[in-house]
């Protein structure tokens, strides 16, 4: 498993800046910078810009109206519901998995780690499919569910489940390297001083990983609210009932209601921007904490 | 030595943590996966092969893998370039550009899908100039490749950036003092150092692109045999209640994704091993000292 | 190739690394730049190499102005503190690098390169390790490969940045001796940076002692050790006792007066003698507080009659003759003093 993405990126130091004595000529630098800027503008800024430009193309009136239709509001509610359930559950899972994997050595540990990475390597459509094959009408549990009048596929529970599946690795992946890197000494000291397991966890381990945890939550939430492929497979696309915001965007777009589609999309884009800002802030805070603790331990920063 | 499940440790909570983890994973991952393989086993080998190698399926593989490869290759080249510029150079707005590199990770795929389609449609911001050059982007494999480039953009950049940041400036200075031109220094010293990270990023971008649905399904046109991606084929079969067919294709995708996981992990390990500071070998030191005496 | 640096100034932001520094290095000499961290010695070396450009001043190689030439064009051999070996290349490829990157017209043939690399491998006594990677070598071996790599391009100047800094003491000593031997054989103009005064004294023909961006003294090891011209140089090279006082001409009073406004008197510990009776020359009383007799010399710590600590070194023989014990009161006779006038702060 790669190192925590939170810790991997560091502030570029003066060492990495080009110097006049050994760098490339200014012209080369300008050309390379230009190409990079054009590439990024083309692939990042233009798509972002068009979302907002199309959303507001028919004016603010249409914009607000699109967001307030009953179907749109239902979609927003469902998206929030899925996130509110999936994220806390995945946090508990992430913490539990990181504790077991980060602090102990046991048989089957690497298999466990591979399993946790699984949703990242599987297509979202396949992620949704496996739930259909389990809970769908023709699925393994289909007949049993029908008999008990329980609906998972094409209903809210299925959407929540699919959301949980595609987002559960995020928190775990951030916390595992953190807990591994911290070693056992502080926890052992707490235990020796008489603290219970829970006390040790909440008072010693948790504060040390708080930024990693927050980072994982931010990523988990962004993906939970934005998931499309997996949810699309299990949802049934029933307006007002089983549509999340991304699905609602798709419906509006396919009906050529472009302004409305982009209006809802703009909310999601704003969420993405907030996610990026929060991410950057947490990264900065985490780096500071890392540097301070290194200083404290007498290491060179 | 007797087999022990877990090495001794005096921290509490192992049983609870592992127990919950395994339970959660079983419910969310293992049981549904088991159902998948159960369903798949209801197909005979012949039926499976018939579905998985049907003309329509093969056409979708060609498009999906082909466009993913193109997108990943573009990201390999430009990702290294962007990482270099972000790490080594300064220009106004650099911090903004740096944080925005992660947008494809954060933006919901459906939003990306409709945005890209609108841009590259014949009357879109970029579609129009392209059409005047005789190039059709939307609803063609080219559009698919563009979308897959978008979705994989952060992988190579974020993979290469830390390696470049960690790289000792002295290596380039040594090459310069030995007479290497700037290009020689880059190609013989810098590039080999960042290669494992770049390849790991490439593999991750490739893997992501193969499974991508939301960003691609709007721009691709979805015509069977021509512009239909494999994930869409799975959904189409599901819509027709052809669970068996959908499962067969899904298995093909699963097998390929898992096959890609191994090289990715190896590449990442290779890359992080290169990064480690070299440690002294003290027993050899004294041997050397004696040899020199 | 002689090197001359004239009036070099280099600032990094607010920090002045080099302040109007000038230094002449005649052809074939092995010169040490000695000083504490932050003294500017590495910066001066890098300016000479062309890895940094000075803010002002000029650098001359054999009289030719190379101030604006890049490192690539100056054809210096530079050995880095942490070796900077190319990790993805074998020892052979590392050493051959400088020859392989020459422009087509000047590039030697495969066979010539192989011959040159073999010759250097023999010189550094690592013939059997040509196919190894740097990660498979010890620190001392890596350093020798870095040296061979720099020598492969037949530079006219060899520059070494704390070459033995990160090695074990024993390896350091061996490599020091080896570098000196190498220089005696090859006679290439060499400059090396070190903060270890023992190293500088042992290896170099001349030493430039640096402090806070300026050169304090340039001279042979003998000169800077026995005839230091500034308090910093005296302090930096060898152990020293420091007294704030005034020398008393009066024979019946203590030789050194404690006076806050006096000059600073420097005495090396091995230049103080302990006697039970004064012998008619300058002396002062002291009470023995601590005796450390483990080692080639006996180290005695005492407190002078005016309350200042003093450190004396004597041979084991002398110590045995004296039978010193703790808390004993003795006379200390300085054989050689150095007085630096108190700097007048205007």
Whole-Å CA distances, A260 to A45, A54, A80, A237, B185: 21, 9, 20, 17, 53
Rounded Cα distance between B133 and B114, Å, is 23
Among A190, A131, A176, residue whose Cα is nearest residue A155: A131
Chain B residue numbers with beta carbons less than 8 Å from the beta carbon of A279 are 99, 102, 106
Is the pLDDT at A141 greater than 60, yes or no?
Answer: yes
Question: Is C70 in contact with A19 (Cβ distance < 8 A)?
Answer: no
pLDDT for B8: 65
| Best residue of B180, B288, B290 to probe chain C, by most C CBs closer than 10 Å | B288
Confidence of residue B293 (pLDDT cuts 50, 70, 90): very low
pLDDT for B101: 95
Question: Is C51 in contact with A20 (Cβ distance < 8 A)?
Answer: no
Span C67-89, average pLDDT: 87
Mean pLDDT (chain C) is 85
Span B104-118, average pLDDT: 95
Report the gap between the CA of A295 and the closest CA in chain C (Å): 20
Chain A residue numbers with beta carbons less than 8 Å from the beta carbon of C53 are 20-21
| Best residue of A4, A133, A145 to probe chain B, by most B CBs closer than 10 Å | A133
Whole-Å CA distances, C318 to B271, C128, C270, C333: 62, 51, 12, 14
pLDDT per residue as tens digits for the range C162-205: 988 878 888 888 888 888 888 888 889 999 999 988 889 888 99
pLDDT for A269: 96
Give the full edge-to-edge strand order of the sheet including C56-61. Answer: C15-25, C3-12, C56-61, C64-65
Any chain C CB within 8 A of the CB of B187? Answer: no
Report the gap between the CA of A270 and the closest CA in chain C (Å): 40
Give Dmax over CA atoms of chain A in angstroms: 78
Any chain A CB within 8 A of the CB of C253? Answer: no
Is the pLDDT at A177 greater than 90, yes or no?
Answer: no
Q: Within 10 A of B226 (CB to CB), how many other CB atoms are there?
A: 14
Any chain A CB within 8 A of the CB of C101? Answer: no
Whole-Å CA distances, B264 to B24, B65, B82, B139, B201: 26, 17, 22, 31, 8
pLDDT for C87: 86
Q: Within 10 A of A169 (CB to CB), how many other CB atoms are there?
A: 25
pLDDT per residue as tens digits for the range C270-286: 888 888 888 777 778 88
Any chain C CB within 8 A of the CB of B178? Answer: yes
Please name the member of A2, A37, A265 whose beta carbon is closest to the beta carbon of B268: A2
Any chain C CB within 8 A of the CB of A17? Answer: no
| Best residue of B167, B169, B179, B182 to probe chain C, by most C CBs closer than 10 Å | B179
Among C299, C35, C7, C10, residue whose Cα is nearest residue C193: C35
Question: Is A164 in contact with B90 (Cβ distance < 8 A)?
Answer: no
Q: List, in sequence order, every residue forming a beta bridge with C338; answer none if it has no partner.
A: C266
pLDDT for A276: 94
pLDDT per residue as tens digits for the range A283-296: 888 888 777 776 76
Question: Is C139 in contact with B177 (Cβ distance < 8 A)?
Answer: no
Highest mean pLDDT among A140-144, A175-179, B43-47, B211-215: B211-215
Span B145-165, average pLDDT: 94
Among C169, C193, C170, C190, residue whose Cα is nearest residue C181: C190
Within the 63-92 window of chain C, which residues sit less than 8 Å (CB to CB) from chain A?
Answer: 70-71
Is the pLDDT at B62 greater than 60, yes or no?
Answer: yes
pLDDT for A167: 95
Rounded Cα distance between A123 and A118, Å, is 10
pLDDT for B291: 46
Q: Within 10 A of B205 (CB to CB), how many other CB atoms are there?
A: 29
pLDDT per residue as tens digits for the range B115-143: 999 999 998 999 999 988 988 888 999 99
Highest mean pLDDT among A233-242, C42-51, C323-332: C42-51
pLDDT for C245: 60
- Residue B54 dihedral angles phi and psi, to the nearest 5°: -65, 155
Question: Is A22 in contact with C51 (Cβ distance < 8 A)?
Answer: yes
pLDDT for C206: 93
Span B41-54, average pLDDT: 86
Question: Is B177 in contact with C149 (Cβ distance < 8 A)?
Answer: no
Q: Which residue has the higher pLDDT, B73 or A189?
A: B73
Report the gap between the CA of A176 and the closest CA in chain B (Å): 13
pLDDT for A2: 41
Among B283, B280, B289, residue whose Cα is nearest residue C169: B289
Span A144-157, average pLDDT: 87
Report the gap between the CA of B276 and the closest CA in chain C (Å): 10
Token pair in block for residue B241: 């209640």
% chain B with pLDDT above 70: 90
Q: Which residue of A has its CA nearest to B80?
A: A36
Is the pLDDT at A6 greater than 70, yes or no?
Answer: no
DSSP annotation of A64 reads H
Is the pLDDT at B191 greater than 90, yes or no?
Answer: yes
Rounded Cα distance between A97 and B23, Å, is 11
Among A178, A264, A166, residue whose Cα is nearest residue A219: A166
Please name the member of B88, B102, B118 whose beta carbon is closest to the beta carbon of A276: B102
Buried b (16+ CB within 10 A) or exposed e, A10-48: eebeeebebeebbbbeeeebeebbeebbebbeebbebbb
pLDDT for C257: 55
pLDDT for B2: 57
- Residue C148 dihedral angles phi and psi, to the nearest 5°: -60, -40
Confidence of residue B284 (pLDDT cuts 50, 70, 90): very low
Kindly list the residues of chain C whose beta carbon comes within 8 Å of any beta carbon in chain B.
49-51, 70-72, 75-78, 80, 82, 84, 86-88, 97-98, 101-102, 125, 134-135, 137-141, 149-150, 152-153, 167-168, 170-171, 173-175, 178
Buried b (16+ CB within 10 A) or exposed e, A231-261: bbbbbbeeeeebbbbbbbbbbbbeeeebbbb
Chain B residue numbers with beta carbons less than 8 Å from the beta carbon of C141 are 284, 288
Total-model pTM: 0.81
pLDDT for C254: 53
Confidence of residue C263 (pLDDT cuts 50, 70, 90): low
Span C41-63, average pLDDT: 92
Report the gap between the CA of C70 and the closest CA in chain A (Å): 6
Q: Which residue of A has its CA nearest to B104?
A: A44
Is the pLDDT at C72 greater than 90, yes or no?
Answer: no
Interstrand relation of C56-61 and C64-65 (parallel, antiparallel or unpaired): antiparallel
DSSP annotation of B187 reads I
Chain A residue numbers with beta carbons less than 8 Å from the beta carbon of C50 are 21
Whole-Å CA distances, A37 to A33, B125, C280: 6, 18, 85
Confidence of residue B288 (pLDDT cuts 50, 70, 90): very low
Is the pLDDT at B7 greater than 80, yes or no?
Answer: no
pLDDT per residue as tens digits for the range A255-281: 999 999 999 999 999 999 999 999 999
Mean pLDDT (chain A) is 86
Please name the member of A100, A129, A229 whose beta carbon is closest to the beta carbon of B17: A100
Report the gap between the CA of B234 and the closest CA in chain A (Å): 8
Span B95-119, average pLDDT: 94
Mean pLDDT (chain B) is 86
Buried b (16+ CB within 10 A) or exposed e, B153-180: bbbbbbbbbbbbbbbbbbbbbbbbbbbb
Lowest mean pLDDT, pick from A193-197, B59-63, C47-51, C163-167: A193-197
Half-sphere exposure for C107 (CA within 13 Å, toward CB): 14
H, E, C per residue of B268-287: HHHHHHHHCCCCCCHHHHHH
For A106, the 3-state DSSP assignment is strand
Is the pLDDT at A3 greater than 60, yes or no?
Answer: no
% chain B with pLDDT above 90: 52
Any chain C CB within 8 A of the CB of A13? Answer: no
Contacts for B185 with CB less than 8 Å, ≥ 6 apart: B172, B175, B176
Is the pLDDT at C247 greater than 90, yes or no?
Answer: no
For B6, the 3-state DSSP assignment is strand
Any chain A CB within 8 A of the CB of B122? Answer: no
Q: What is the ipTM for the molecules in this complex?
A: 0.86
Question: Is C137 in contact with B281 (Cβ distance < 8 A)?
Answer: yes
Is the pLDDT at B45 greater than 90, yes or no?
Answer: no
Confidence of residue A11 (pLDDT cuts 50, 70, 90): very low
Chain B residue numbers with beta carbons less than 8 Å from the beta carbon of A253 are 114, 218
Token pair in block for residue B35: 């159902």
Give Dmax over CA atoms of chain C in angstroms: 82
H, E, C per residue of chain C: CCEEEEEEEEEECCEEEEEEEEEEECCCCEEEEECCCCCCHHHHHHHHHCCCCCCEEEEEECCEECCCCCHHHHCEEEECCCCCCCCCCCHHHHHHHHHHCCCHHHCCCHHHHHHHHHHHHHHCCCHHHCCCCHHHCCHHHHHHHHHHHHHHCCCCEEEEECCCCCCCHHHHHHHHHHHHHHHHHHCCEEEEEECCHHHHHHHCCEEEEEECCEEEEEECHHHHHHCCCCHHHHHHCCCCEEEEEEECCCCCCCCEEECCCCEEEEECHHHEEEECCCCCCCCEEEEEEEEECCCCEEEEEEEECCCCEEEEEEEHHHHHHHCCCCCCEEEEEECCCEEECCCCCC
Span A190-213, average pLDDT: 84
Please name the member of B173, B179, B184 whose beta carbon is closest to the beta carbon of C51: B173
Within the 42-61 window of chain C, which residues sit less than 8 Å (CB to CB) from chain A?
Answer: 50-53
Name all chains with 3 or more CB-CB pairs below 8 Å to chain B. Answer: A, C
Chain C residue numbers with beta carbons less than 8 Å from the beta carbon of B280 are 138-139, 168
Rounded Cα distance between B25 and A112, Å, is 9
Question: Is B177 in contact with C140 (Cβ distance < 8 A)?
Answer: no
Q: List, in sequence order, every residue forming a beta bridge with C78; answer none if it has no partner.
A: C159
Span A208-237, average pLDDT: 92
pLDDT for A129: 92
Q: List, in sequence order, every residue forming a beta bridge with C332; answer none if it has no partner.
A: C274, C284
DSSP annotation of A41 reads I
Token pair in block for residue B26: 């079983």
Confidence of residue C160 (pLDDT cuts 50, 70, 90): very high
CB pairs under 8 A between B and C: 102
Lowest mean pLDDT, pick from A19-23, A33-37, B168-172: A19-23
Question: Is B178 in contact with C76 (Cβ distance < 8 A)?
Answer: no
Token pair in block for residue C155: 């530079």
């Amino acid at each position: 498993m790669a190192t925590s993405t939170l810790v991997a990126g560091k502030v570029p130091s003066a060492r990495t800046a080009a110097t006049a004595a050994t760098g490339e000529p200014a012209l080369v630098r300008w050309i390379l910078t230009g190409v990079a800027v054009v590439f990024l503008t083309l692939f990042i800024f233009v798509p972002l810009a068009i979302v907002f430009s199309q959303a507001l193309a028919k004016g603010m009136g249409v914009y607000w109206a699109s967001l307030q239709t009953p179907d749109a509001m239902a979609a927003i509610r469902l998206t929030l519901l899925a996130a509110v359930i999936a994220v806390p559950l995945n946090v508990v899972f992430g913490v539990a998995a990181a504790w077991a994997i980060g602090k102990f050595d046991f048989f089957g540990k690497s298999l466990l780690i591979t399993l946790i990475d699984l949703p990242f390597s599987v297509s979202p459509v396949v992620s949704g499919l496996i739930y259909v094959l389990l809970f769908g009408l023709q699925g393994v549990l289909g007949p049993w569910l029908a008999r008990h009048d329980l609906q998972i596929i094409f209903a809210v529970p299925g959407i929540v489940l699919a959301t949980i599946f595609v987002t559960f690795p995020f928190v775990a992946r951030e916390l595992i390297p953190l807990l591994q890197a911290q070693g056992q000494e502080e926890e052992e000291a707490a235990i020796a001083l008489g603290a219970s397991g829970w006390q040790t966890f909440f008072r010693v381990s948790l504060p040390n990983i708080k930024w990693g945890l927050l980072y994982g939550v931010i990523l988990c939430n962004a993906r939970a609210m934005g998931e499309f492929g997996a949810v699309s497979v299990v949802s049934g696309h029933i307006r007002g009932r089983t549509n999340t915001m991304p699905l609602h965007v798709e419906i509006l777009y396919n009906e050529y209601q472009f302004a409305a589609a982009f209006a809802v999309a703009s909310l999601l884009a704003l969420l993405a921007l907030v996610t990026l800002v929060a991410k950057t802030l947490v990264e900065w805070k985490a780096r500071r904490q890392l540097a301070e603790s290194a200083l404290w331990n007498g290491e060179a920063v | 030595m007797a087999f022990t499940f877990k090495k001794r440790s005096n921290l509490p909570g192992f049983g609870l943590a592992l127990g919950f983890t395994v339970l959660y994973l079983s419910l969310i991952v293992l049981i549904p996966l088991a159902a998948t393989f159960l369903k798949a086993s209801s197909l005979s080998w012949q039926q499976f092969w018939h579905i998985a190698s049907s003309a329509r399926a093969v056409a979708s593989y060609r498009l999906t893998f082909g466009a993913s490869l193109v997108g990943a290759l573009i990201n390999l080249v430009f990702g290294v370039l962007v990482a270099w510029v972000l790490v080594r150079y300064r220009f106004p707005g650099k911090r903004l550009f740096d944080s925005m590199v992660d947008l494809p990770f954060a933006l919901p795929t459906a939003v990306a899908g409709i945005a890209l389609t609108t841009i590259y449609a014949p009357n879109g911001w970029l579609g129009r100039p392209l059409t005047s050059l005789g190039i059709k982007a939307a609803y063609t494999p080219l559009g698919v490749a563009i979308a897959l480039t978008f979705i994989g953009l952060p992988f190579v950049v974020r993979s290469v950036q830390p390696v470049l940041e960690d790289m000792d400036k002295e290596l380039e200075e040594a090459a310069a003092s030995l007479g290497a031109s700037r290009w020689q220094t880059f190609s013989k010293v810098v590039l080999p150092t960042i290669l494992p990270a770049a390849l790991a990023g490439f593999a991750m971008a490739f893997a992501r692109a193969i499974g991508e649905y939301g960003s691609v399904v709007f721009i691709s046109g979805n015509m069977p045999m021509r512009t239909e991606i494999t994930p869409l084929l799975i959904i189409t079969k599901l819509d027709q209640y052809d669970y068996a067919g959908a499962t067969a294709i899904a298995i093909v995708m699963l097998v390929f994704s898992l096959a890609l996981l191994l090289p990715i992990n190896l590449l990442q390990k290779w890359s992080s091993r290169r990064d480690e500071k070299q440690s002294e070998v003290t027993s050899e030191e004294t041997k050397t000292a004696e040899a020199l005496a | 190739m002689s090197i001359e640096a004239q009036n070099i100034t280099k600032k990094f932001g607010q920090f002045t690394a080099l302040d109007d520094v000038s230094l002449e290095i005649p052809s074939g000499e092995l010169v040490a730049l000695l000083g504490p961290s932050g003294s500017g010695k590495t910066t001066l070396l890098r300016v000479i190499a062309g890895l940094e450009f000075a803010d002002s001043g000029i650098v001359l190689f054999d009289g030719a102005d190379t101030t604006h030439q890049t490192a690539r064009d100056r054809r210096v051999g530079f050995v880095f503190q942490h070796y900077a070996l190319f990790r993805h290349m074998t020892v052979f490829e590392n050493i051959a690098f400088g020859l392989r990157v020459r422009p087509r017209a000047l590039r030697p043939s495969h066979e010539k390169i192989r011959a040159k690399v073999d010759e250097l491998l023999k010189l550094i006594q690592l013939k059997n390790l040509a196919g190894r990677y740097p990660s498979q070598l010890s620190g001392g071996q890596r350093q020798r490969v870095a040296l061979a790599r720099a020598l492969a391009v037949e530079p006219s100047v060899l520059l070494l940045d704390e070459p033995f800094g990160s090695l074990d003491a024993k390896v350091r000593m061996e490599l020091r001796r080896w570098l000196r031997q190498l220089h005696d054989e090859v006679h290439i103009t060499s400059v090396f940076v070190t903060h270890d005064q023992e190293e500088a004294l042992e290896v170099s023909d001349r030493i430039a002692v640096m402090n806070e961006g300026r050169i304090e003294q340039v001279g042979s090891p003998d000169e800077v050790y026995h005839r230091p011209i500034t308090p910093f140089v005296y302090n930096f090279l060898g152990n020293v006792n420091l007294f704030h006082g005034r020398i008393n001409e009066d024979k019946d009073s203590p030789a050194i007066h404690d006076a806050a406004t006096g000059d600073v008197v420097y005495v090396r510990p091995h230049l103080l003698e302990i006697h039970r009776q004064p012998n008619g020359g300058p002396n002062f009383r002291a009470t023995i507080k601590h005796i450390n007799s483990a080692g080639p010399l006996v180290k005695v710590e005492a407190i002078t009659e005016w309350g200042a600590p003093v450190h004396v070194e004597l041979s084991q023989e002398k110590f045995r003759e004296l039978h010193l014990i703790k808390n004993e009161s003795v006379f200390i006779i300085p054989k050689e003093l150095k007085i630096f006038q108190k700097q007048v702060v205007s």
